[in-house]
Structure formats: C-alpha cells, structure tokens
Amino acid sequence: MKKLYDGKKVKKQAFIGWLIAMTGILLQFVLENLVWGESRPDMAAYIVGVPSP
C-alpha cells in the first residue's frame, strides 16, 4: 500500500508547530516576569479578555 504522506515533511511540520507553541508560552512567561512583576494579575487575563479571580 502506498503512503499518503511524507514522513519527513510531517515530522518537520510537527516540530515547527511545537516550536511555535513553546515560543508563545516562553514569551508570555518572560513578559509576565519582566513587565508585570509578581504582584500584578495574570497577563493572560488581559490578552484573552477573561477577568482573573
């Protein structure tokens, strides 16, 4: 049976997706620590628009 996908291309796309996700999480963490500090509410609440409890 012939493969319907290219394994190398799929792995590359999965790696790029993982890299983008990790970069976003790291960026949020760095911004929260540098810009907002410890006493400020969660920055994700402002980005998403959901009030933090």
Q: Letter for the amino acid at 12?
A: K
pLDDT surpassing 70 at residue 53: no
Token digits for 6? 């290219």
Q: What share of the chain is helix, strand, coil (3-state, %, to 5)?
A: 70, 0, 30
pTM: 0.51
What are residue 43's phi and psi, to 5 degrees?
A: -65, -30
Residue 20 CA to residue 50 CA, distance in Å, equals: 23
Q: What is the pLDDT of residues 3-12, one digit of tens each?
A: 777 888 889 9
Q: What is the pLDDT of residues 17-28, one digit of tens each?
A: 999 999 988 888
Return mean pLDDT, the chain. Answer: 75
Residue 53 CA to residue 45 CA, distance in Å, equals: 10
